[in-house]
Amino acid sequence: MSNTVIEFNNVGKQYILGTIGTGTLSQDLNRWWANIRGKEDPYLKIGETNDRTQKGDSRFVWALRDINFKVEQGDVVGIVGKNGAGKSTLLKILSRVTSPTTGDIKIKGRIASLLEVGTGFHPEMTGRENIFMNGSIMGMTKAEIKSKFDEIVDFAGVAKYVDTPVKRYSSGMMVRLGFAIAAHLEPEILVVDEVLAVGDAEFQKKAIGKMQDVSKGEGRTVLFVSHNMASIRKLCTKGILLNNGMISYQGDIASTIERYLKNNENSENHQRIIDNIQFIKKGITIYSISINGTEDSTSVIKNGQRILKIDITGHTDEEIRYDIMLVLKSKEGLPFAIYAKGHYMGDIRVLPMGDFHLHRNIILPEMLTNGLIYIDMFLHKPGVEYQMKAPDCCVLESEGYVKGFGHAIIQSNGGFECLNDEEDSTC
């Protein structure tokens, strides 16, 4: 028997651009007259999709539209999407900060929300007073709050400042205390926006661990918004992808992240590899770079294609000794393998002065990590200098090795070697 704790039914949120309130007097009268006659609000029939990149004619914009989904007890749901996709609006509606324009939401249980720095805090009150105030708002007794007080203060790391007004706290301290309150006062549903990014790395790790404890150990429900895909992948089991205020996909978290990253690459970062060159040595000019016949840096090499055909044309003012090096990494920028025949096997070649055309077929390892893999390309003289760096020159779509990034890859005959991590020090 399913235990649904959150249900969105045809939820929409409409805003009017450039105004405060509901609009002009005539619009309010039209709405009132329609309501008296039992008719639909006439302004719900108009309005544009919430695409922040396009200038439209209508002042009515749907921040969210036709949102339908259910969340079961104990689910950990990651909500992803571009800036302006409607993620924060969805959480604000869920947290009752604002009300939906259309549709309805059914919620079972108490909600604790951390949407913005200082959410729910009174700046003139001390940390201690804010803890008790927030607990009271959530319906907890003074005794219940007291039993959790020391744990909250210890987790937040603000013992020295607990009797200081929170207006004197840094943004990081505010987030620490806000999250500690939200996570420890036993809500059935925990809602966290990307505000955690304000905290330092140590606190982010603690916060992710606490959310895992809340969901797995205590069976509570978590909704989490972040642009940090590593945190989303580590914490969440299900995902919702928002695009221009509408749900474009919902399913398991791995599939949701893959779709988000592909959409992001295709829509926002479309450019040639050559346009993405980060640095190049003086005296070298690059005319073109292509991989498997395309110059597009967002080209996706599908699973099963194990050969990268690299072509580079350009000009050098002097003879150079060179090699091509590739660094394979996750979307989060974590390198896990390197191709460098010149460095590992002494395969260093000579490029004469003048125009040149380099061609190299590189065989990829059979054991690749599951997911999207991004490649940085270097032209370099091994052990001496880099002559060119082109970051994120292409994307590999792999369905292979499933244990995660950072584990051993050995293919010495292809020039691949692993980059060790703390968990796996042997290759």
Question: For position 249, what pLDDT does the model report?
Answer: 92
Is residue 322 included in any domain, yes or no?
A: yes
Distance CA 407, CA 233 (A): 17
Query: What is the pLDDT averaged over residues 147-164?
Result: 90
Q: What angle do CA 247, 250, 256 make, to 5 degrees?
A: 105
Residues 152 and 170 in one domain: yes
Residues 220 and 283 in one domain: no
Domain CATH code at residue 349:
2.70.50.60
Residue ending a domain, among 267, 291, 319, is 267
What mean pLDDT do residues 392-414 have? 53
Pairing verdict, β 385-398 and 300-301: parallel
Assess whether 244 and 286 both reside in one domain.
Answer: no
Give CA–CA dist 404/239, Å, rounded.
Answer: 19
pLDDT, tens only, 82-122: 877 888 889 888 888 888 888 999 998 888 777 766 667 88
pLDDT the model gives residue 318: 92
Residue 22 lies in a domain: no
Q: What is the mean pLDDT of residues 246-255?
A: 90
Q: How far apart are CA 213 and CA 193, in angstroms?
A: 18
Q: Does 74 map to a domain?
A: yes
Beta strands in 175-306 (DSSP E): 189-192, 221-225, 238-243, 246-252, 279-280, 284-291, 300-301
Q: Judge if 261 and 284 occupy the same domain.
A: no
Distance CA 316, CA 297 (A): 23
What is the rounded CA–CA span in Å between residue 170 and residue 398?
A: 43
Domain end point (choices 236, 267, 298): 267
User: 156 and 285 share a domain?
Assistant: no
Q: What percent of the chain has pLDDT over 70?
A: 73
Strands 189-192 and 221-225, by their bridges, are: parallel
Rg, C-alpha atoms of the chain: 27
Do 282 and 189 belong together in one domain?
Answer: no
**pLDDT grade, residue 402 (50/70/90)?**
very low
Q: 93 and 64 in contact (C-beta within 8 Å)?
A: yes
How many separate domains does the chain show? 2
pLDDT band at 264 (very low <50, low <70, confident <90, very high): low
Give the pLDDT confidence score for residue 50 in this predicted structure.
47
Q: Are residues 245 and 336 in the same domain?
A: no
Is residue 224 located within the same domain as residue 296? no
Domain check: are 257 and 293 in the same one?
Answer: no
- Whether the Cβ atoms of residue 227 and residue 46 lie closer than 8 Å to each other: no
In which band, very low, low, confident or very high, does the pLDDT at 196 lie, cut at 50, 70 and 90? low
DSSP, collapsed to helix, strand or coil, labels residue 414 as helix
Within 10 Å of residue 99's Cβ, how many Cβ atoms? Answer: 9
Cα–Cα distance measured from residue 26 to residue 14, given in angstroms and rounded to the nearest whole number: 18
Mean pLDDT calculated for residue range 164-183: 85
Q: In this structure, what CATH number is given to the domain that contains residue 238?
A: 3.40.50.300
Domain contains 35: no
> Do residues 295 and 259 share a domain?
no
The boundaries of the domain holding residue 382 are 274-418
267, 283, 314: which is the final residue of a domain? 267
Q: What is the pTM of this model?
A: 0.56
Instruction: Clarify whether residues 300 and 192 are in a common domain.
Output: no
For 169, which DSSP code? Answer: S
Inside any domain, residue 202: yes
Q: Are residues 201 and 292 in the same domain?
A: no
